[in-house]
Amino acid sequence: MYNKHFGFKEAPFNMTPNSRYFFSSSRHTEALSTLIYAIEERKGFVVITGEIGSGKTTVCRALLNQLNALTQTALVTNTHISGKDLLVTVLEDLEVEFTPGSKARLLSQLNQYLIDQLRNDRNVVLIIDEAQNLSASVLEEVRMLSNLETENEKLVQIIFLGQPELKRKLSSPRLEQLRQRIAVFYHLLPLSYEDTKEYILHRGRVASSSERAFFTDAAIDLVYAFTKGVPRLINQICDSALLSGYIAGVSIINEDLMREVIEESPMMQIARSSKNHIEKLEQDLGEFLAWKREKHVI
C-alpha cells in the first residue's frame, strides 16, 4: 500500500525471510560463517540457537544461496514428526527414489545414497529448523544418522536451528551421546544499537535502490528501545510505521509518529495489561537514552 508513496520496489520490512535482505551484522555473519565452515570441513553436527525472531531462518536462507552445486541439501521444517516420518521427509527432499518400508530399510537406502554422493565428491547437508520441537526419541534417531560415516569423514552434515529450549533439551542425560557428537554450538544474539540502525537503513536501501533515510535517528532510537534489537520485531514496528506515514502523507518517520505507532502496536496493547511491564519499557528507554549520552552517540 505504501510502496509507491515512499518509492519502494517492494515492502522493505516483509515478515517472510528473504536472503536478498540478509544484513551482515557481526553476529549473523559469524553464524553464517560457522555453518559454511562446518559443512565444508564435514564437522557433522552443528547447533544454532536464538530467541524467536532473531534471524535464524534468514541465516539459513543465506546459507542455502551460498552453497555450491556439489552440496545437496534437505530442509526439514515440520518437526512434530516421528523418526520414520523424518527419514521419509529427508529422502523425499533429497529426491531419492526409495522403496517404502521399515525404518531400517529406509535408513539403508539413505546410507547407500550418501555413499554414492561421497563417491561423486558431493556433500549432503540436513537442516532441521525449529529443532526444539523434536521429541527426545526423534533426536536420538537423528543421532543415528550421524553414525553414517567412513573412517575419515561424516557422510551427512546435520544442522539444528532452534530456540534456546533446544540447548536445554540437549542437556538431558538421555541425550548425552548426541551432545558429544555436536561439533559447534552458536547462539545468535539480537542486534546491537549500531547494527539495528544500519539494519533499518540497509532494508530501505535494498527496497528503494536509494540512499535516503526513511526514519529519523530519534525514531530509530525508539525502535531499538522497544524491540531490543530483535529483527522480527523491528520489521513489525517499521512496517506499521511506514503504513502510518503513508496515511499521514509524510516522507520520513519521525519520533512522534514512531511513538504513536509503538503505543498502538499489538505488543504494547498486550503490555498494557501489566502496569509493571509498561514501567519496565519506560525504564528501558530511559536507560538506553542515558547510555547514548554517556557514549556521546547523541
Domains of the chain (ranges, CATH numbers)? 26-188 (3.40.50.300), 191-294 (1.10.8.60)
- What is the mean predicted confidence (pLDDT) over 117-139? 94
Q: Which pTM value belongs to this model? A: 0.82
Contact indicator for 255, 218 with CB cutoff of 8 Å: yes
| pLDDT for 266 | 77
20 has pLDDT over 90: no
Q: How far apart are CA 37 and CA 152, in angstroms?
A: 17
Sheet holding 157-162, edge to edge: 71-76, 123-128, 157-162, 45-50, 182-188
Residue 118 CA to residue 83 CA, distance in Å, equals 24
Rounded Cα gap, residues 228 and 37, in angstroms: 29
Predicted confidence at residue 150, as pLDDT, reads 73
Q: Pick the closest to residue 80 from 159, 138, 134 (CA basis).
A: 134
pLDDT at 278 over 60: no
> How far apart (Å, rounded) are the C-alpha atoms in residues 298 and 294?
9
Q: What is the pLDDT of residue 261?
A: 94
What helix, strand, coil percent values describe the chain, rounded to 5?
Answer: 55, 10, 30
Name the average pLDDT for the chain.
89
The per-residue pLDDT for 230 is 94
Tell whether the model's pLDDT for residue 136 goes beyond 60. yes
Q: Residue 145: what pLDDT?
A: 85
Q: What is the pLDDT of residue 295?
A: 61
Q: Is 290 helix (H, G, I), strand (E, B) or coil?
A: helix
Q: Rounded to whole angstroms, how far apart are CA atoms 232 and 210?
A: 23
pLDDT of residue 219: 96
Q: What are phi and psi of 50, to 5 degrees?
A: 180, 155
| Mean pLDDT calculated for residue range 150-178 | 90
Percent of the chain whose predicted confidence (pLDDT) is above 90: 69
Mean pLDDT, rounded, for 7-19: 90
Q: For residue range 37-75, what is the model confidence (pLDDT) as tens digits?
A: 999 988 889 999 999 999 998 899 999 999 988 999 999
- Binned at pLDDT 50, 70 and 90, residue 149 comes out as confident
What is the rounded CA–CA span in Å between residue 48 and residue 162?
7
pLDDT at residue 122, rounded to an integer: 93
Res 144: pLDDT: 85
Helix, strand counts (H, E) of the chain: 14, 5
The pair phi, psi for residue 199, each rounded to 5°, is -60, -45
